[in-house]
Amino acid sequence: MDPKPPTIALLFTTFPKISETFLQRDVAALKAQGLNLRLYSLWGGGGDFRGLPVRSFNKWKLVPLFLFEIPWQCVRRPRLVRDLFEGVCTRAAPSWLNFWENMLGAGFAGCFYRELKKDPPALIHGAWAGAPATAGWVLWRMFGWRYSSGAHAYDIYEHGGDWWLMEKLQHAQFIHSSTEAVKRELVDRGVPAAQIRVIRRGLDAFPVFKPLRPSRRPLRLICIARLVPKKGLTYQLAIYAALKEAGLAFEARIVGDGPLQAVLEVRARELGLAREVEFLGRLEQTGVWEQLAWADVLLHTGIVAPSGDRDGLPNVIPEAMAAGVLVVTSPVSATTEAVQQARTGLVADVDLPLAWVVALRQLGEDDTLAETLRTAARRWVEENYDAHKNTARLAACFTEAMKS
């Protein structure tokens, strides 16, 4: 009888989640690689994903954790409990949200370790460096189980970074980043470069590369983003106002929802953009592709939010590039790893609306430039954003970590 293949426990905050399709593609591609996966969702989600059960965390399990398990662990593992409580008492969390994220991860470890001990995974991978990585780190402290961690821009920038970030990354078998920008930041903070694997996300199937629309008047503009501060959408509305004042005919659609939706809709009316700008709300992935098929240009006006949070490389940028949609982006974080000025797209500062007017006028009128950028952008995506190639590299990291 063939030996049972080693199991990888994949830990997510919420899985599956409509705004995190990149993680769903990762899981699908890892499954296609033949890896034996066990999925856990610490907060929301659950159910079934492509034939794989997603084990959810029933928060009622925290009641016996506090009543019985923590006192028992104080006797059984006093050093671990002491270190955790010492950290809680001597170092302030960057935010209440991050405090509870880490408590959630530690709580998951305390509630699920008995179940996991029955069939220990060869590797635990936290998709995020918040709650999922905390769970992996605590389980490593308890049993020495190998773990690895993802590291996203949110994990390292929001309010200065996750509460226990360096402790968790220090002992990880490897750290998965999808951008060079995150790797540079982690190296600057003291993480060894050799521990970090830059492996981009990807598309499991490339869309049809649509032809350039011969007459781009009015210019069709699309923005696909959560309506949150780091997306810089107040700047984007100012750009639309500048386009209107310059007499450049356009139609703009904003896809996504979020806490700023009402504020942005009011601001659009104040700027006299009610006819030009349409808010479509959140769409399923099929709806997103339909909007990309409609659009001429994708706008990304990312900024550094007051909390410090910012985008890495939003997945919608390479998705648009793959579909043949031109891209204009702000030069924040890792966007310029894909959108290289005058090579695969155009780059403009959000504080300079007239620069966006010039860029968008060029893309609307210069067919040669538009076709050159679109072709190079598609080539970049094919070379760098193939889910099967990239996930094969990630699977190799998992295999190496399980053997180490």
**Residue-by-residue DSSP string for 117-151:** HHS--SEEEESSTTHHHHHHHHHHHHH---EEEE-
Confidence (pLDDT) at 32 = 87
Give the separation between CA 262 and CA 254, rounded to whole angstroms: 13
Residue 247, number of CB atoms within 10 A of its CB: 8
Q: Helix, strand, or coil here: 318?
A: helix
Give the separation between CA 39 and CA 255, rounded to whole angstroms: 30
Taken in order of first residue, the domains within the chain and their CATH numbers are 7-203+386-403 (3.40.50.2000), 219-384 (3.40.50.2000)
What is the pTM (predicted TM-score) of this model? 0.91
Among 75, 73, 84, 100, smallest CA distance to 168 is for: 84
Confidence (pLDDT) at 201 = 92
Backbone dihedral angles phi then psi of residue 255, each to the nearest 5 degrees:
-105, 125
Confidence (pLDDT) at 70 = 64
Which is it for strands 36-45 and 196-198: parallel, antiparallel or unpaired? unpaired
Which is it for strands 52-56 and 47-49: parallel, antiparallel or unpaired? antiparallel
Confidence (pLDDT) at 331 = 96
- Taking 70 as the pLDDT cut, the residues of the chain under it are 1-3, 64-75, 81, 87, 404
Among 83, 148, 86, 76, smallest CA distance to 114 is for: 76
Confidence (pLDDT) at 92 = 84
Q: What is the CA radius of gyration of the chain?
A: 23
Cβ-based burial of 5 (10 A; exposed 0-12, middle 13-18, buried ≥19): exposed
